[in-house]
Chains A and B, each alone.
Chain A
Amino acid sequence: MAISFEIVFFGVFAGIAVILAIMMLSVKSPVHAALCLVGVMIMLAILYLMLHAYFLSVVQIVVYAGAVMVLFLFVIMFFYSPGASDPSRMSVHFTHIAGAIILAVILLAVITGSFLLSGNVSLTEKPSAAQMTDIEKPIAETSEAPLTEETSRMIEKQNPQLVGRMLFTKYLLPFELTSLLLLAAMVGAVVLARRSPPAEAGSAGGDGND
Chain B
Amino acid sequence: MDNDSLYFLSNWANVESGGNALLTMWNIFKHISIHHYLTVAAIIFTIGFYGVIVRRNAISILMSIELMLNAVNLNFVAFNQIWGLKITRAAFTSNEDVLTPVGQIFTIFIIIIAAAEAAVGLAIVIAFYRQRHSVKVEDADLMRW
Contacts and interface: CB of A to CB of B under 8 A. Distances in A.
Verify whether A and B have any Cβ pair under 8 Å: yes
Interface in A37-91: 37, 40-41, 44, 47-48, 51-53, 55-56, 59-60, 63-64, 67-68, 71-72, 75-76, 78-79, 86, 88-90
A134 interface: yes
| Majority-rule SS of B interface residues | helix
A100 B50 contact: yes
Given A25-B47, A71-B118, A116-B24, A128 B100 contact: no
Contacts of B125: 75
B140 interface: no
| Majority-rule SS of A interface residues | helix
A204 interface: no
Interface residues of A, number: 105
Nearest to B84: A158
24 contacts: A4-B32, A7-B32, A14-B36, A18-B40, A18-B44, A25-B50, A59-B111, A63-B115, A64-B111, A71-B119, A72-B118, A79-B59, A114-B38, A114-B39, A123-B24, A123-B27, A129-B4, A134-B86, A137-B10, A138-B31, A148-B5, A154-B89, A155-B8, A166-B100
Interface of A: 1, 3-4, 6-7, 10, 14, 17-18, 21-22, 24-25, 30, 33-34, 37, 40-41, 44, 47-48, 51-53, 55-56, 59-60, 63-64, 67-68, 71-72, 75-76, 78-79, 86, 88-90, 93, 96, 99-100, 103-104, 106-107, 110-112, 114-116, 118-119, 123-124, 126-130, 132, 134-142, 144-145, 147-148, 151, 154-155, 157-159, 162-163, 166-167, 170-171, 174, 178, 181-182, 184-186, 188-190, 192-193, 195
